[in-house]
Amino acid sequence: MLNNYFQHQAHIVDIECNFRCPDDCDTPGCRKVDIIVEVTLFDLIRLARFLNTPVSYLFSQYCHLGLMIYEDNIHYKRLLIKMKKPCLFLSGNQCLVHDAKPLNCTLFPELYQIKGLLPKLSKNPLFYTFPCLKKPIDISRKRINALKKLRRMSSQEQALSHAYLFGVPSFIIDEKPLRKKLRRSHPKQRNLSLQDYDNLLNELLNSYGFIEGVMEKISRLDAESEIKNLFEKLSDRVMMKYLVEKMVRPVVVHRFERDDIKQLKR
């Protein structure tokens, strides 16, 4: 079941895949700390199989919990698993795990082309040095359909990963208490970076015992039986439809209090 799923996914990835990174690309997306690469438990399981390495080891060495802006409300942030930067799978300008890399790496930059977001993205200062964004990407109809299917699979994997680890398919956080704490601890710093938020996030989550709970759940996935249980949930269409809907329209916001995380209705 597991191998069939990943083989099917790999087949979709290869459908009329004609995009190649430009020769002058120095892999800024793999290096820049401000470029977020979100990974799911399924990305880690795929890598674990490819490298014959425990899932928990991959998470502890190559990933961390972090935040990104929640697109529907700039006053909120979303909890996620991020790849550490520069990516530790990078050797020179080559990806050492190219055939098993996270889906978000696979989808970039073609997904932004079919969404019509390439022109906007190319004007973002973070992406000025990306040669692949300098001109439109030619994508066939079959490739477009394949990318859309991969995006749906990625969304399902994300929703289930977050539900498994965090208890909800989209862990939305009220930014205000975090910003106040950072302002008090960095009074002379005009602009707060996502790294500042991530550092504070992990400090607080660790004090709440939250990270310990997350690591315990990830460690379970070192056992094949737990991976099988997770994949059985992924194949449950009714449950996955519910989780994706809740991910897209979360009903709970989390606020970090002094000693605990409080849940509030949106």
Q: Tens of pLDDT along 109-165?
A: 999 999 998 888 889 999 989 999 988 999 999 999 999 999 999 999 999 999 999
3-state helix, strand, coil in the chain (%, to 5): 55, 15, 30
Is beta strand 90-91 parallel, antiparallel or unpaired with respect to 63-69? Answer: unpaired
Distance CA 108, CA 246 (A): 25
Q: Is pLDDT at 266 greater than 90 in this prediction?
A: no
Which tokens in the block code for residue 235? 């194949």
Q: Is pLDDT at 214 greater than 90 in this prediction?
A: yes
With vertex at residue 216, the alpha carbon angle to CA 41 and CA 241, rounded to the nearest 5 degrees, is 40
Which tokens in the block code for residue 121? 């993205």
Exposed e or buried b per residue across 31-65, where buried means at least 16 C-beta atoms within 10 angstroms of its C-beta: ebeebbbbbbbbbbbbbbeeeeebbbebbeebbeb
Instruction: Look at the alpha carbons of 85, 249, 221, 1 in this order and tell me if their dihedral is positive or negative.
Output: negative
Which tokens in the block code for residue 177? 């208490």
Q: Is pLDDT at 191 greater than 90 in this prediction?
A: no
Which pLDDT score, from 0 to 100, does residue 192 have? 84
Q: Is pLDDT at 188 greater than 80 in this prediction?
A: no
What is the average pLDDT value for the chain, to the nearest integer? Answer: 94
Which pLDDT score, from 0 to 100, does residue 162 have? 98
Exposed e or buried b per residue across 12-29, where buried means at least 16 C-beta atoms within 10 angstroms of its C-beta: ebeeeeeeeeeeeeebbb
Count how many Cα atoms sit within 13 Å of the Cα of residue 176 in the half-sphere of its side chain.
Answer: 7
Q: Is pLDDT at 84 greater than 90 in this prediction?
A: yes
User: Is 233 within 8 Å of 239 (Cβ atoms)?
Assistant: yes
- Reduced to 3 states (helix: H, G, I; strand: E, B; else coil), residue 184 is helix
Lowest mean pLDDT among 25-29, 37-41, 61-65, 139-143: 25-29
Strand ranges inside 60-181, DSSP E: 63-69, 76-83, 90-91, 94-95, 172-174
Distance CA 167, CA 207 (A): 18
Q: Is pLDDT at 5 greater than 90 in this prediction?
A: yes
Lowest mean pLDDT among 14-28, 52-66, 145-159, 213-227: 14-28
Q: How far, CA to CA in Å, does 228 sit from each of 18, 84, 220, 231, 255? A: 34, 27, 11, 5, 33
What percentage of residues in the chain have a pLDDT greater than 90? 80
For the stretch 35-56, pLDDT in tens is 999 999 999 999 999 999 999 9
Which pLDDT score, from 0 to 100, does residue 254 have? 97
Which residue has better confidence, 18 or 57? 57
